[in-house]
Amino acid sequence: MITKRLSELEDEDLRSLLSRDVGIQDVLPAVNEIIMEVGSKGDEALFKYTEKFEGAHLDDLRVTQEEIDLSYDLVDDRLLEALSSAADHIFYFHNEQKEHDLWMSEASPGVLVGQKVVPLDSVGAYVPGGRAAYPSSALMTVIPAKVADVPRIVVCTPPQKDGSINPLTLAAADMAGADEIYKLGGAQAIAAMALGTDSIERVDKIVGPGNVYVTAAKMLTRGSVEIDFPAGPSEVLILADRTADPGVIAADMIAQGEHDPKSISVFVSLDDLLASAVAEELNIQAPGAARSDIVSESLEHSAILLADDMDEALDFVNAFAPEHLEIITREPMNVLRSIRNAGSVFLGKFTPVAAGDYASGTNHVLPTSGYARIFSGLNVDHFTKKMTLQMITDEGLLGLEETITTLAEAEGLLAHAESVRRRLEPRE
């Protein structure tokens, strides 16, 4: 673990913290081969790779209604209630994000301009299933598409060795509103949704988190399908002053670390004693963590960094552009005003990342590896497109005539100017 003052970070330290290379270049050849084979052989390739990577021999990729119904019987009622509560919060938040589907306003007399919001025709949601089941990701990827009124929502998630889908994930996907669910994971799932096969009709856009192979496949198929954004191992940056509890900060770093050995947790401290206390708490808590081997690997490339003042801390936060940002300070809202780059922000000592992962309603599908500088987390807008509108009266066009014709003629587009003049010619 890196433990230094921000001002003492060497170039190598900064490159390691800011680049967060997830190894996409290393897997591109293998992923490209899978995509090419799915494109040429369709379902045959999907069955082959499902058996190779998941150990499941399947005769049919699509989950049946009987399997969906059975999943509710197999899941404990307490878990179903938790799913339902989480879904309610996620529906609420994303309904608040939804824009008016049609508006127009008067820019000048006789010139009405506006916008019409239209849902995409189809989307594919990838729900991981590797190291653990992720029913929460089914809720997070499907619900905003449902709120956006997408008419066809497809879910792909890896099967277990017996060919079944984890019943909690299956119940979550159905509860969220998925129209089609397929037993398919990895790069081959992305290729199937992007290119289409006999079993799976192609979609217009693919969203959702996944491992490096899934991310590479999303990037390679972008010429055939739109995607949300690249996403790598999960990460958190915690910014705190002396009012914070070191045990809580350590617990949050460990919670982030249990996702994946490549997950990264960074603590930026405004107080020397707090930084030392957090390091001590990590030594106490980490060995006893449920997934201590994964946590240990994650903490090896994590960091505790000391800032001389808030300005220095904020500069680093915005350069790091974390997936998750916790602000545990005396006045977190004041700090928030200076934050430009973060996927999702958690304000105050009672707002852990885990709340956003499961229950508060905000989306946990977020840009990682610094992509928060240019991408937003998954939201309703990802599932819509916007058409601009204009309606102009004769009075309005007369007011715009000189502007249009002058600029059109300057660009040598004389027919554009004529198209305006003809409309304004006196008529008998």
Which has the closest alpha carbon to 156: 132, 120, 123? 123
Query: In which residue are the tokens 């819509």 written?
Result: 384
Structural domain including 408 reads 394-424
The mean pLDDT value for 160-180 works out to 95
The binding site for substrate consists of 234, 256, 259, 324, 357, 411, 416
* 324, 326, 364, 382: the active-site residue: 324
Which residue has tokens 């019409």?
Answer: 116
Identify whether residues 51 and 177 lie together within a single domain: yes
Q: Are residues 153 and 290 in the same domain?
A: no
How much is the pLDDT for 16? 85
Please indicate, yes or no, whether residues 137 and 7 belong to a single structural domain of this protein: no
- 408 and 329 in one domain? no
Beta bridge partners of 156: 126, 182
Residue 355 forms part of a structural domain: yes
**238 and 266 share one domain:** yes
Which residue reads 């330290």 in tokens? 13
For residues 136 and 81, membership in a common domain is answered with yes
137 inside domain: yes
Neighbours of 203 (CB within 10 A): 25
Could you tell me if residue 67 is inside a domain?
yes
Last residue of a domain, one of 172, 193, 227: 227
Summarize pLDDT for 16-43 with one digit per residue, the tens: 899 887 788 899 999 999 999 999 999 9
Determine the pLDDT at residue 307. Answer: 97
Binding residues for NAD(+): 126, 188, 211
Q: Which of 227, 248, 263 is the last residue of a domain?
A: 227
Question: What is residue 278's predicted lDDT score, i.e. its pLDDT?
Answer: 97
Does the residue 113 lie in any domain?
no
324 classed as catalytic: yes
> What local confidence, expressed as pLDDT, does residue 131 receive?
54
Percent of the chain with pLDDT over 70: 99
Same domain, 153 and 33: yes
Mean residue pLDDT across the chain: 95
Is residue 267 located within the same domain as residue 344?
yes
Same structural domain for residues 192 and 249? Answer: no
Residue 377 lies in a domain: no
Q: Would you call 323 a catalytic residue per the annotation?
A: yes
Q: Which amino acid is at 417?
A: A
**Cα Rg of the chain, angstroms:** 25
Q: Which pLDDT value is given to residue 132? A: 65
Closest to 393 in 3D by CA, of 135, 184, 113, 154: 113
Given the residues 54, 180, 258, 323, the one annotated as active site: 323
* Per-residue pLDDT tens digits for 347-371: 999 999 999 999 999 999 999 999 9
pTM score, whole prediction: 0.92
Q: What pLDDT, on a 0 to 100 scale, did the predictor assign at position 428?
A: 62
Q: What is the pLDDT of residues 109-124, one digit of tens each?
A: 999 999 999 999 999 9
Residue numbering of the annotated binding site? 126, 188, 211, 234, 256, 259, 324, 357, 411, 416
What is the C-alpha to C-alpha distance for residues 157 and 141, in angstroms, rounded to an integer?
12
Please give the average per-residue pLDDT across 3-15, as a whole number.
90
Q: Identify whether residues 7 and 32 lie together within a single domain.
A: no
- What confidence tens digit (pLDDT) does each residue in 263-322 have? 999 999 999 999 999 999 999 999 998 889 999 999 998 999 999 999 999 999 999 999
Residue 382 included in any domain:
no
Query: What's the pLDDT at 150?
Result: 98
Cα(111)–Cα(395) distance, integer angstroms? 8
The predicted model gives 126-139 an average pLDDT of 85
- Residue 37 has a pLDDT of 97
**Is 268 in contact with 316 (CB distance < 8 Å)?**
yes
The per-residue DSSP string of 248-299 comes to: HHHHHHHHHHTT-TT-EEEEEES-HHHHHHHHHHHHHHGGGSTTHHHHHHHH
**Number of domains into which the chain is organized:** 3
Q: What is the CATH number of the domain that holds 162?
A: 3.40.50.1980
Q: Does residue 236 belong to any structural domain of this protein?
A: yes
Binding-site residue positions for Zn(2+): 256, 259, 357, 416
The pLDDT score that the predictor gives to residue 130 is 57
Considering the domain architecture, whether residues 267 and 309 belong to the same structural domain is answered as yes
| Residue 8 placed within a domain | yes
Same structural domain for residues 267 and 205? no
User: Where among 178, 207, 227 does a domain terminate?
Assistant: 227
Average pLDDT over every residue of 144-156: 98
